[in-house]
Amino acid sequence: AQSVTQLDSQVPVFEEAPVELRCNYSSSVSVYLFWYVQYPNQGLQLLLKYLSGSTLVKGINGFEAEFNKSQTSFHLRKPSVHISDTAEYFCAVSSYNNNDMRFGAGTRLTVKP
Amino acid sequence: DTAVSQTPKYLVTQMGNDKSIKCEQNLGHDTMYWYKQDSKKFLKIMFSYNNKELIINETVPNRFSPKSPDKAHLNLHINSLELGDSAVYFCASSYRDSYSPLHFGNGTRLTVT
């Protein structure tokens, strides 16, 4: 079965600074990769997804992620964060032969003024 | 509005009681899920139904019983509630394809006292 590791449980950053949230996955078959964001007291919302094709994927709110097959990574980046980006971010993976989506443990992004 | 809606939003109950959480989606999806999110934000899949058929049944105590009367509804019944059942329970839906992202409800915060 596929699995996901998010390497940082918490990432504090100042407003307007760049940020990278790291995600590594493990699977014996081809995968589909996703990033979700969870604001306080809400459900998860899709930020972006990688299915195939270009390895650089752009999502909502200025986020982007790059799929790196050789390093089995799918890191999330934003060049300049806002206070409103403070939230929990989850990396997720599913494999082409089942729709059992597995989530990482989450990274708490805190943007400070 | 098109969405995944679950009720109630908050549920406070005593140990030993039986409770249900309801979920409905009007997105036309054919697959629905229950996830449990613990106090550390870790998301664990519990069940998945496709067109009323159970397709994922993780290692969950048999006090938890999902029921899907049709593909737009997936309810979760919990018998003999225990303190450790306290968590946020999320309903989600998607198309059956493994590349389809999940759409989440806003969660039900269950507190067992």
Say whether A98 and B98 touch across the interface (CB within 8 A): yes
pLDDT at A41 exceeding the cut of 90: no
Q: What is the pLDDT of residues B25-70, one digit of tens each?
A: 999 999 999 999 999 999 999 999 988 888 877 888 999 999 999 9
pLDDT at A64 exceeding the cut of 90: yes
User: Average pLDDT of A42-61?
Assistant: 94
User: Average pLDDT of B85-103?
Assistant: 92
User: Average pLDDT of B72-91?
Assistant: 96
Q: A52 CB contacts (<8 Å, ≥6 apart)?
A: none
User: B11-45: buried (b, 16+ CB within 10 Å) or exposed (e) per residue?
Assistant: bebeeeeebebbbbbeeebbbbbbbbbeeebebeb
User: Average pLDDT of A86-93?
Assistant: 96
Q: Does B4 touch chain A (CB under 8 A)?
A: yes
Please, which pLDDT band fits residue B97 given cuts at 50, 70 and 90?
A: confident
Given this model, what pLDDT does residue B56 score? 79
Please, which pLDDT band fits residue A12 given cuts at 50, 70 and 90?
A: very high
User: Average pLDDT of B78-86?
Assistant: 96
Given this model, what pLDDT does residue B1 score? 65
Q: Please give the Cα distance from B63 to B71 (Å, whole number).
A: 23
- Of A20, A9, A15, the closest CA to residue A88 belongs to A9
Given this model, what pLDDT does residue B2 score? 64
Interface of B with A in 32-51 (CB under 8 A): 40-43, 45, 48
CA torsion angle B49 B55 B56 B62 (round to 10) = 80
Distance in Å, alpha carbon of A92 to nearest chain B alpha carbon: 10
